[in-house]
Amino acid sequence: MKTIDDLGVAGRRVFVRADLNVPLDSGTITDDGRIRAAVPTIGRLAEAGARVIVASHLGRPKGAPDPRFSLAPVAGRLGELLGREVAFATDTVGESAKSTVGALADGQVAVLENLRFNAGETSKDDAERGAFADSLAALADVYVGDGFGAVHRRHASVYDLPARLPHAAGGLIATEVGVLRKLTDDVERPYAVVLGGAKVSDKLGVIDHLLERADRILVGGGMAYTFLKAQGHEIGASLLQEDQIPAVQGYLKRAEERGVEFVLPVDVVAAAGFPDLSTKAPSEPVTVAADAIPSGLMGLDIGPRSQELYAAKLADAATVFWNGPMGVFEHPDYAEGTRAVAQALIDSPAFTVVGGGDSAAAVRILGFDEEAFGHISTGGGASLEYLEGKTLPGLAALED
Ligand code: ADP
Ligand code: MG
C-alpha cells in the first residue's frame, strides 16, 4: 500500500475518505473517538499544503438527505480538534460541494455532507455506484483511504473511487492494519480473545477463524446465553438464538479437540426485564449461578465470580483481542462486567486490542484512559472481518 508520502499532496485537492460515523443524541456527539482518530491524517495533509476534502457516512440514511444524519456537528467538532477552520458543504457532489472545494486554498479543510445522502454510495448496482464515484472523483486530484471502520463495505467512496484517482492509505488505516497483523500472522502466545456483545450470529465467522488461532476464548454478553443453553443449562428469559445452538455445539466440540480453552460465565447479573436505557432508572439486579438462571430472569451482565475468572485468564496472556461488551453496559447496574474486563486488559502485560464500536465506546464512556490499551480499533465490523480472513474491499482497492 502506498502512503501519503508517496502521493505528493501539496497544492492538490485530496479526497480523504474518513470514518466520522459517531453516535449522536439529537445532534450532540456522545463519543468523538472516531473524529479524534481521523485528526492526525487530516492535520498532516493540511500541514503539507493539500486542499483537504473530508468525506464520511454517518448512520443509515436511506440514500436521500435526512437532517438527523447531517455531518454538520461533526465538521464543527473536527475544526475544534484540528485547531483550524473547517468549511462545510451542505451537499456531497452538488453545487455546495463544488463551490466549497473550489474555494479551498492550500492547507485548508472542508467536510462534505453525508455520503449516504446519495443512493449511489451503497448501491449494489455497479453502474449506479460507479456514476456516484465519478462525481466524487471530479472534486479531487488524489484519494486517501483512511476510513478503517468502512473498509469492509463495497461502497462507492471506499471501493470504486480509489480506482479512479491516484491513491494511498492514510495513517489510521496503516496503523489498524499493522495491529491486525499482530493478531493474525505475528501473534505472540498465549493469545486470549474475549467476545461479547449482543448476538452470536454476528460473531460466528470470527469464532470459526479464532478456533484455529487462539489459545483461549472467553465469552460474555448476550451471546453467552446461547452457549450456556447449548451446554444444556437453563437460561430463563436471557437472549437466545435458538437456531445457532448446533453451530455453537460444534464450536465447543472443536475447541475441545484442538485444546482451545473456552471460558463461559459462572455467574450472571440478571433482572426480570430489560433496563430502561434512556432514563437509566435503577432496576433490581440479582446475581445467580450461570448454570441455573431462574425462569423469568434475563441475564444482563457477567457476575463478580466470572469477572475474577476472566481477569485471571487474561493476566498471563501475551496478546488479547476484545470485541463486544460483557453486559448491557449502557445501564450502570450492568456495566461492572465490561468494566472488569477493561481493567483486566489494562492490568495484563499483554499487547491488548479493543475492537468493536460499542466496546470502544464502552471503554471511553466508563472513563478508562484509552492510552492504557495497546490499541483501540475504530472499526468493529472491519476488524472482525479482517480476523475472519476475508478480503476487505476498501483495503484491496488501496493495494495496487
Ligand atoms: P460491538 O459493537 O463492540 O461489536 P455489539 O454491537 O456486538 O458490540 O454488542 C453491543 C451490545 O450488546 C450493547 O448495546 C449491549 O447492551 C448488548 N448486550 C451486551 N450484553 C447483553 C445481554 N446480556 N443481553 C442483551 N444485550 C446485551
Ligand atoms: Mg455494535
Structure confidence by residue, pLDDT tens digits, 247-268: 999 999 999 999 999 999 999 9
Residue 26's pLDDT band (boundaries 50, 70, 90)? confident
**What local confidence, expressed as pLDDT, does residue 164 receive?**
98
Q: Which ligand has the minimum distance to the alpha carbon of residue 384? A: 1
Taking residues 287-310, what's their average pLDDT? 97
Taking residues 323-343, what's their average pLDDT? 97
Active site residue 49: no
Q: How many CA atoms lie within 13 A of 91 on its CB side?
A: 12
**What local confidence, expressed as pLDDT, does residue 199 receive?**
84
Active site residue 27: no
d(CA 122, CA 103): 28
Residue 270 backbone phi and psi in degrees, to 5: -125, 165
**What local confidence, expressed as pLDDT, does residue 400 receive?**
78
**What local confidence, expressed as pLDDT, does residue 361 receive?**
86
Task: Using the atom order of ligand 1, give the atom closest to the CA of residue 362.
Answer: 3
Taking residues 89-112, what's their average pLDDT? 98
d(CA 65, CA 114): 8
Please state which of the ranges 153-162, 198-207, 329-338 shows the lowest mean pLDDT: 198-207
What is the whole-number distance in angstroms between the Cα of residue 48 and the centre of ligand 2?
35
Taking residues 102-110, what's their average pLDDT? 98
Is pLDDT of 356 > 90?
Answer: no
Residue 255 backbone phi and psi in degrees, to 5: -60, -45
Structure confidence by residue, pLDDT tens digits, 171-207: 999 999 999 999 998 899 999 999 999 988 888 889 9
Q: Which secondary-structure segment (H or E) carries 84?
A: none
Model pTM? 0.88
Q: Which ligand has the minimum distance to the alpha carbon of residue 381? A: 1
Q: Is the CB of 217 under 6 A from ligand 1?
A: no
> Whole-number mean pLDDT of the chain?
96
**What local confidence, expressed as pLDDT, does residue 378 receive?**
86
What is the whole-number distance in angstroms between the Cα of residue 105 and the centre of ligand 2?
38
- Cβ count within 10 A of residue 29: 17
Q: What percent of the chain has pLDDT over 90?
A: 90
What is the whole-number distance in angstroms between the Cα of residue 326 and the centre of ligand 1?
7
Q: Which ligand has the minimum distance to the alpha carbon of residue 326? A: 1
Q: Is the CB of 198 under 6 A from ligand 1?
A: yes
Q: How far is CA 147 from CA 272, 331, 383, in A?
A: 41, 30, 12
Catalytic residue among 236, 324, 357, 394: 357
What is the whole-number distance in angstroms between the Cα of residue 221 and the centre of ligand 1?
6
**What local confidence, expressed as pLDDT, does residue 357 receive?**
80
Is pLDDT of 25 > 90?
Answer: no
Is pLDDT of 363 > 90?
Answer: yes
Active site residue 33: no
Q: Is the CB of 328 under 6 A from ligand 1?
A: yes
> Order of strands across the sheet with 267-271?
286-289, 267-271, 298-302
Is pLDDT of 291 > 90?
Answer: yes
- For 273, residues 6+ apart whose C-beta sits below 8 A from its C-beta are 283, 298
What is the whole-number distance in angstroms between the Cα of residue 196 and the centre of ligand 1?
7
Contact between 318 and 264 under an 8 Å Cβ cutoff? The reply is no
Is pLDDT of 308 > 90?
Answer: yes
Taking residues 163-169, what's their average pLDDT? 98
**What local confidence, expressed as pLDDT, does residue 70 receive?**
97
Q: Is the CB of 149 under 6 A from ligand 1?
A: no
**What local confidence, expressed as pLDDT, does residue 218 receive?**
98
- Helix, strand, coil % in the chain, rounded to nearest 5: 40, 20, 40
Please state which of the ranges 49-58, 286-295, 336-345, 374-383 shows the lowest mean pLDDT: 374-383
Q: Is the CB of 358 under 6 A from ligand 1?
A: yes
Name residue, grid cell 501519503.
4
Structure confidence by residue, pLDDT tens digits, 207-259: 999 999 999 999 999 999 999 999 999 999 999 999 999 999 999 999 999 99
Q: Is the CB of 31 under 6 A from ligand 1?
A: no
Residue 157's pLDDT band (boundaries 50, 70, 90)? very high
Active site residue 357: yes
Ligand 1 pocket test, candidate residues 202, 238, 269, 328, most atoms within 8 A of CB: 328
Taking residues 122-130, what's their average pLDDT? 98
Ligand 1 pocket test, candidate residues 297, 358, 364, most atoms within 8 A of CB: 358
